């Protein structure tokens, strides 16, 4: 999947500098932007300011278990905004020349929002998945089963290296991961292109 220029223009380093009023970007402002927490809050605030119907001042970012109230198809929706900005490449991923992206922190929010808005800051993509579909079709992983992971290359059909041990009886090769392939396929159905 190619970078979505509309998403890049809204959430890139240049957009961050403009939004923050940084007129002379330097390595410190770049480091700040590259911090997942900082860029995640920046993206969240841009979405709330541009799409929200009511901006709520919160003492704690997790107070209400959702991030935004907005109209979608003439209905007020509670949206949970998640961003990812880091490619994960563990030993197994290196072995198979691949990596994944992830978001987490869903355990306490399972029935608290109507849709999840995911911004992939690595590849500049946006996804909006309805709550019920997300929780019924996603395969969660991680130590507490609280992470949603998908392939960073968005190729759900890519197989493991073509070596004999990965050859299946039908002549095809084993997928890199059934869970990541499932989640990649799911997230791609809900990509927002405009």
- In the 3-class helix/strand/coil scheme, how is 88-133 assigned residue by residue? ECCHHHHHCCCCEEEEECCHHHCCCCCEEEEEECCCCEEEEEEHHH
The DSSP symbol for 83 reads E
How much is the pLDDT for 94?
74
pLDDT per residue of the chain (194 residues) written in tens, 0 to 9: 789 999 999 999 999 999 999 999 999 999 999 998 999 999 999 999 999 986 555 555 555 778 999 999 899 999 999 999 988 887 777 776 788 999 998 777 888 999 999 999 999 999 999 999 999 999 998 777 789 999 999 988 776 655 555 556 666 666 678 899 999 999 999 999 97
pLDDT at 49: 93
| Domain boundaries of the chain, sorted by first residue | 5-192
| pLDDT at residue 42 in the model | 96
CATH topology assigned to domain 5-192: Trna Endonuclease; Chain: A, domain 1 (3.40.1350)
Residue that the structure tokens 């059934």 belong to = 178
Alpha-carbon distance values, 95 to 25, 51, 61, 99, 179 (Å): 37, 42, 38, 10, 18
**Residue 29 phi, psi (nearest 5):** -70, -35
88 SS3 class = strand
Tokens of 67: 């991030």
């Amino acid at each position: 999947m190619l970078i979505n220029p509309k998403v890049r223009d809204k959430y890139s380093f240049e957009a961050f500098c403009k939004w923050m009023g940084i007129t002379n970007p330097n390595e410190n402002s770049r480091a700040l932007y590259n911090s997942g927490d900082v860029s995640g809050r920046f993206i969240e605030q841009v979405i709330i300011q541009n799409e929200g119907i009511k901006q709520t001042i919160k003492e704690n970012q997790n107070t209400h278990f959702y991030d935004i109230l907005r109209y979608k198809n003439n209905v007020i929706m509670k949206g949970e905004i998640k961003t990812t900005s880091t490619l994960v490449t563990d030993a197994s991923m290196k072995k198979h020349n691949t990596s994944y992206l992830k978001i987490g922190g869903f355990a306490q929010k399972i029935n608290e929002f109507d849709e999840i808005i995911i911004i992939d800051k690595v590849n500049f993509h946006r996804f909006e998945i309805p709550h019920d579909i997300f929780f019924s079709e996603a395969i969660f992983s991680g130590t507490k089963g609280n992470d949603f992971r998908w392939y960073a290359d968005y190729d759900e059909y890519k197989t493991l290296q073509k070596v004999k041990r990965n050859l299946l009886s039908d002549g095809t090769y084993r997928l890199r991961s059934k869970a990541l392939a499932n989640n990649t396929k799911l997230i791609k159905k809900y990509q927002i292109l405009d």
